[in-house]
């Protein structure tokens, strides 16, 4: 789960990580009041969306004139921001953060995530703050430093010193070495206590008055651990999520919307991805990823159908079930019931394999439904692509 | 021969009185696996289809000499269950549970480091040695004793591959699901090494997916140490960056871990990369045919 910058900064404050004075304001009147209270030399108005690259897209505005703050905010609310992370459709700005500006002497980069290979939390730091760390890593890999933390003992002083000295902080500003090490410890505490999967501060700035401040903040959380943290769950902003994905989650389905025309319903994540891939190989594009789970039932199949049919791009449905513990004849019953209930008019290809597959196929063939039945994966993919036509992605078609 | 598990493996099922645990313990037993014990705290003295239940893994080990554990404990308690098995002297722990917090696994992995215990999973279908023993949730009947070793990050996609191998008469030796989470106990490399040493498998099928760099590291190992043919498939060529595709570990981050990148790295290491998942079996057959060794 992702959260907004202003929420990340609230969390930072709770863990004694210094941030600029700022808060989310709901309307221009509140913005005016808050700006007066801030009484800062520079004001920053920042669009809050779950995507990076806001600055270049006009989502961050600075002004020295307090009277301009409400106007800037008004301009930003409701605006569509198109960044490299939002896709061409862009993302509507619904929330705005207003904070004091900082005099920047130096921008650093700092993040913390789990390294899969070693299984340890690793700090990533660089003196090249304010840029995309992937860019820095690609062009000047020697400027990207790492420090792994032993989870048995947690963050230690030497971890902090290793980074501080390798970054050359004493030469930059000796007085911030100790605050920097303390900040690392606090960040580690936040990461572990709140089950974050990524914490990123870019930039972490040394101000002209020699303070260390998290000027931006990005925090992602481990979905598997959300049950432990009601406070983190409260940060969830459904406006930043795809409505069909929210509905799928309510039905315990794993759904990711894509841009193609063939709706897929599959049991198991790996097979679901492979099914999407095979659709592409057959000459079309998948409309979604949908995993109904290893233990698919009649109910999950019906729920899956409803979600697929709500996507207007879907021109045909491909159901691919490998019956293991799941018995195919049950899935067949689910398909038949769902098809009657929602009156499916689109072409459907069902491929059943594994436990009781033959029985399931027979049920479907005798159901009177307009359902194509298949045994082999490639055969099934070719069938659905044949009946829906070799459709291109919408974006390509428009180009 | 086989790797990790065979007819003599003695299994304890942790979480045996739950819905999943009891169902699969019974299924494993029916396949021929020696399921000698189950554990559910507070339910000692009961039995599940004739399998005695104990309060702790310690008790189960003492009374039944079980050496391998199969875990169905719910996510909030699964990390504890893995550590309990290790503490009781279990040598092989297979954790099926999906949804364990990553930070829990970070601690588990650290706690198991350097100890004489191997963890498979979590979030995996388990292990099966065809026609000998099944320790997991895979459908046993699609497997047939044969010539191919299988390693996979996925569940049902593995069944798909196994089914193709069986239908072509190739059959399998041991099939291992290593799990779809970012932090797993055993990765490709250890298992590739075991399959290389084991005289039985003639080729290895390796099924990966987007996210992380486990396949990249496996490729380097294959190039140096594996002489047997390796056939690889990577799921997720159509997956968009930054989106989690079901498995917690299946996500392209910072432009890294894409399927096409992994396929290229595997190919460069001499792996026969299959683009079409419907052709995994066929590609193995070609690799093993006398003229296929090109």
Task: Chain A: give the shortest CA distance to residue B63, in Å.
Answer: 31
**CA-CA distance, A111 to A202, in Å (whole number)?**
8
Contact B279 A278 (CB under 8 A): no
**pLDDT at residue B110 in the model:** 97
**CA-CA distance, B89 to B62, in Å (whole number)?**
10
Sheet holding B172-177, edge to edge: B133-136, B126-129, B172-177, B145-152, B203-209, B230-235, B272-273
A268 in contact with B, Cβ within 8 Å: yes
**CA-CA distance, B181 to A254, in Å (whole number)?**
15
**pLDDT at residue A394 in the model:** 46
Average pLDDT over residues A377-395: 79
Total-model pTM? 0.92
Task: Chain B: give the shortest CA distance to residue A284, in Å.
Answer: 11
Residue A303, pLDDT > 50, answer yes
Q: What is the mean pLDDT of chain A?
A: 92
Task: Chain A: give the shortest CA distance to residue B245, in Å.
Answer: 7
A296 in contact with B, Cβ within 8 Å: no
**Residue B150, Ramachandran bin (φ over 0: left; ψ between -120 and 50: alpha; else beta):** beta
A214-272 confidence digits (pLDDT tens)? 999 999 999 999 999 999 999 999 999 989 999 898 888 999 999 999 999 999 999 99
A225 in contact with B, Cβ within 8 Å: yes
A220 in contact with B, Cβ within 8 Å: no
Contact A378 B279 (CB under 8 A): yes
Average pLDDT over residues A46-52: 93
Q: What is the DSSP string of A318-382?
A: EEEEEESSS-HHHHHHHHHHHHHHHT--S-EEEEEEETTHHHHHHHHHTT---EEEESSHHHHHH
Kindly report the length of chain A: 399
Residue A398, pLDDT > 80, answer no
Q: pLDDT means per 10 residues in chain B (294 residues)?
A: 91 96 96 98 96 98 98 97 98 96 96 96 96 95 97 94 97 97 96 97 97 95 97 96 88 87 97 96 93 52
Average pLDDT over residues A147-153: 97
Contact A353 B180 (CB under 8 A): no
Residue A393, pLDDT > 60, answer no
Contact A322 B163 (CB under 8 A): yes
pLDDT above 70 covers a percentage of chain A that reads 97
Domain boundaries, chain A: 1-20+103-241, 21-101, 242-393
- Residue B94 sits at φ, ψ, to 5 deg, of -115, 115
**pLDDT at residue A53 in the model:** 86
- Give the distance, in angstroms, between the CA of residue A189 and the centroid of all CA atoms in the same chain: 23
A74-117 confidence digits (pLDDT tens)? 999 999 999 888 878 889 999 999 999 999 999 999 999 999 98
User: Was domain A21-101 assigned CATH 3.20.20.70?
Assistant: no
Burial (0-12, 13-18, 19+ Cβ within 10 Å), A104: middle
Instruction: Classify the C-alpha dihedral A348-A354-A355-A358 as positive or negative.
Output: positive
Closest by Cβ to B103, choosing from A192, A274, A276: A192
**Is-catalytic flag, B247?**
yes
Residue B140 in tokens: 């046993």
Q: Under CATH, to which class is A242-393 assigned?
A: alpha beta
Looking at the structure, give the CATH architecture of the domain made up of residues A1-20+103-241. Answer: 2-Layer Sandwich (3.30)
Residue in B59, B54, B105 with CA at minimum distance from that of residue B78: B105
Closest by Cβ to B106, choosing from A121, A279, A280: A121
* Confidence category of residue A138, pLDDT binned at 50, 70, 90: confident
* Confidence category of residue A294, pLDDT binned at 50, 70, 90: low
Strands A196-207 and A218-221: antiparallel
A157-210 confidence digits (pLDDT tens)? 999 999 999 999 999 999 999 999 999 999 999 999 999 999 999 999 999 999
């Amino acid at each position: 789960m992702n959260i907004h910058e202003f929420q990340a900064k609230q969390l930072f404050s709770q863990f004694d990580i210094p941030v600029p004075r700022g808060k989310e304001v709901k309307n221009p009147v509140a913005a005016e009041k808050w700006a007066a209270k801030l009484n800062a030399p520079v004001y920053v108005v920042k669009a809050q969306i779950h995507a990076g690259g806001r600055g270049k897209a006009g989502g961050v505005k600075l002004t020295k004139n307090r009277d301009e703050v409400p106007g800037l905010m008004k301009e930003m609310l409701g605006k569509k921001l198109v960044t490299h992370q939002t896709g061409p459709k862009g993302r509507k700005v619904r929330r705005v953060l207003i904070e004091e500006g900082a005099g920047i002497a130096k921008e650093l980069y700092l993040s913390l995530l789990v390294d899969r290979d070693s299984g340890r939390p690793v700090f990533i730091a660089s003196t090249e703050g304010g840029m995309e760390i992937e860019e820095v890593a690609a062009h000047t890999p020697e400027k990207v430093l790492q420090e792994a933390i032993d989870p048995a003992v947690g963050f230690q002083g030497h971890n902090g010193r290793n980074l501080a000295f390798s970054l050359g902080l004493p030469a930059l500003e000796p007085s911030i070495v100790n605050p920097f090490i303390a900040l690392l410890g606090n960040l580690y505490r936040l990461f572990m206590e709140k089950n974050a999967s990524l914490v990123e501060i870019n930039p972490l700035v040394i101000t002209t008055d020699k303070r260390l401040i998290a000027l931006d903040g990005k925090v992602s959380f481990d979905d598997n651990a959300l049950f432990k943290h009601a406070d983190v769950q409260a940060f969830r902003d459904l406006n930043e999520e795809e409505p069909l994905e929210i509905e799928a989650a309510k039905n315990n389905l794993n759904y990711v919307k894509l841009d193609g025309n063939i709706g897929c319903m599959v049991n198991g994540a790996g097979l679901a991805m492979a099914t999407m891939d095979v659709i592409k190989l057959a000459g079309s594009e998948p409309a979604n990823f949908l995993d109904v789970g290893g233990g698919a039932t009649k109910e999950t199949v019906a729920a899956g159908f409803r979600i697929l049919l709500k996507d207007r791009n879907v021109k045909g449905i491909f159901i691919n079930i490998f019956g293991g513990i799941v018995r195919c004849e049950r899935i067949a019953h689910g398909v038949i019931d769902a098809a009657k209930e929602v009156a499916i008019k689109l072409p459907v290809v069902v491929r059943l394999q594994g436990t009781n597959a033959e029985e399931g196929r027979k049920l479907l063939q005798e159901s009177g439904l307009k359902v194509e039945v298949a045994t082999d994966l490639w055969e099934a993919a070719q069938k659905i692509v044949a009946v829906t036509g070799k459709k291109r992605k919408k974006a390509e078609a428009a180009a | 021969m086989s790797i990790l598990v065979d007819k003599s493996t003695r299994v304890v099922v942790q979480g045996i009185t739950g819905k999943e645990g009891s169902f699969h313990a019974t299924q494993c037993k029916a396949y021929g696996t020696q399921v000698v014990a189950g554990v559910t705290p507070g339910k000692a003295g009961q039995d599940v289809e004739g399998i005695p239940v104990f309060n702790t893994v310690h008790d189960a080990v003492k009374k039944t000499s079980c050496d391998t554990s199969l875990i169905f404990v719910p996510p909030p308690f699964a990390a504890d269950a893995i550590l309990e098995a290790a503490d009781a002297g279990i040598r092989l722990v297979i954790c099926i549970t999906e949804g364990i917090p990553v930070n829990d696994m970070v601690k588990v992995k650290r706690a198991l480091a350097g100890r004489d215990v191997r963890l498979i999973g979590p979030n995996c279908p388990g292990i099966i040695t065809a026609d000998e023993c099944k320790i997991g949730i895979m459908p046993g009947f699609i497997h047939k004793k044969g010539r191919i070793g299988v390693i996979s990050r996925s569940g049902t996609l593995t069944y798909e591959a196994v089914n193709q191998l069986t239908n072509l008469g190739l059959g399998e030796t041991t099939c291992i699901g290593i799990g779809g989470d970012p932090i797993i106990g055993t990765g490709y490399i250890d298992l590739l090494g075991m399959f290389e040493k084991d005289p039985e498998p003639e080729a290895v099928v390796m099924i990966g997916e987007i996210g992380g760099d486990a396949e990249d590291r496996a490729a380097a190992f294959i190039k140096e140490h594996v002489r047997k043919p390796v056939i690889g498939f990577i799921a997720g060529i159509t997956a968009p960056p930054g989106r989690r595709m079901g498995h917690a570990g299946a996500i392209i981050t910072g432009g890294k871990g894409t399927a096409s990148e992994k396929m290229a790295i595997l190919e460069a290491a001499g792996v026969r990369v299959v683009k079409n998942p419907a052709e995994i079996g066929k590609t193995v057959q070609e690799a093993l045919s006398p003229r296929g060794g090109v």
